[in-house]
Amino acid sequence: MRLELINISDLKPHERFTEGRLRAVMGDLTRPGVLWYPILVDDKDLIILDGHHRVEAFKRMGFTKIRALLVDYSDPKIEVYPRRRDIPITKELIIETVGRGEIFPHKTTRHKWPGRTKKINESLEDFR
């Protein structure tokens, strides 16, 4: 696991986002003094595992970089759970789906990992 500033254009989403949640995230990010978590990204394929709304918010706000926790997705300590009964989820299915250029509906997966990084308190201007 390593914390890095990465180019948003290199990231690959595996889930859609919703406009309502996106507006809320954008509002939170523009408030002074807001602390937020880095996104979680597979270090091999650069698949976004957690943070789709934050990534889209940064894009729409004109940022080109975002702080990410890069992880080895094959690590058994990183777990994925389905959030929908109609879509069975595995790490392999996520990688295959993204590899085909497809993405899941919003809130399809839930990832859990040990040692969640503390919240970040950086000026948004650092990400332009």
Active site residues: 15
In this structure, what token pair is assigned to residue 51?
Answer: 């943070």
**Is the four-CA dihedral 107, 110, 111, 114 of positive or negative sign?**
positive
Q: How far apart are CA 42 and CA 71, in angstroms?
A: 5
